[in-house]
Amino acid sequence: MTDLKAQVLDPNLTPFEQLCTLMAILRSPHGCSWDRAQTHRTLLPYLIEEAYEVIETVESEDFPAFKEELGDLLLQIVFHAQLADEAGRFNINAVIEGIVRKLIDRHPHVFGERKELQPGQVRDQWERIKTDSGEKESVLSGLPKAMPALTMAFRLGEKAAGVGFDWGSSGDALEKVSEEMAEVKKELDAEQERRKERLTAEIGDLLFAVSSVARLEKIDPEAALRQALRKFRDRFERMESRLTADGRRLDEYTLDEMEAIWQEIKRHR
């Protein structure tokens, strides 16, 4: 075993310490040129990719892959912490200490005066603590602008609900969906300047209203849409295989012919 490998696999180190040691070696002059060339910015695509791969394994309930993808995501966190440590900003221990303190402060019903709270009450308390502490100026602060829009719609609604600004029920929110659909239809039928701009705004309102129905029913709209897209892709590819089996192109079939196959696939799957 080489000296570097022995340093990483030192039995006196915890698995997490071994990972941190490994990352430090990879960034060192004795390590890897690719790892040494990385910056916080160049690593961002990998951080995002690994987070989505974790999501995919959870949704598919592939737990061996889930374990592996969590490791890949953890590597990205340790990598960023190593870069920050080299720059003299902070190290991984400071990261961990910070989240430990934050979690204690955000759970006064556990670490302070003991209270039995429902999950929704805990979420609302969390948001109030962040606002009261001055950590954020607005109840709606803190959501990254690059967050997927449906997920942001879900979280904005959740944050507003934490201070009581919410629909009374999913039925009430569904009425808003009907109202927004009528607005979309109105703009579709309109012949006026700025039609596309107005239609874009109304479709956005409709999607936001749909996300509210999902949230009130405790359904993640982003996950629901991904499930629908997977289903559509599976059915379309099966239809495509059926239609092209005789050597014809898809555009040589009529819509009615494609729809007939589509409905048959839906009935059997």
User: Which residues, at least 6 apart from 221, have a Cβ–Cβ distance to it below 8 Å?
Assistant: 150, 151, 153, 154, 210, 211, 214, 215
Instruction: List, as one string, the DSSP characters of 74-99.
Output: HHHHHHHHHHHHHTTS--HHHHHHHH
CA dihedral in degrees (43, 44, 47, 50; nearest 10)?
A: -100
pLDDT of residue 89: 97
What would the CATH number be for the domain defined by 3-104? 1.10.287.1080
Q: For the packed helices 63-86 and 40-60, what is the interaxial angle rounded to 10 degrees?
A: 160
Per-residue pLDDT of 56-98, as tens digits, reads 999 899 999 999 999 999 999 999 999 999 999 999 999 999 9
Its pTM stands at 0.69
Fold (topology level) of 116-218: Helix Hairpins (1.10.287)
Residues 269 and 263: their CA atoms lie apart, in Å, by 10
Distance of CA 29 to the CA centre of its chain: 36
More confident residue, 174 or 137: 174
Residue 54 contacts residue 73 (beta carbons within 8 Å)? yes
Per-residue pLDDT of 44-60, as tens digits, reads 989 999 999 999 999 89
Highest mean pLDDT among 67-76, 106-115, 141-150, 255-264: 67-76
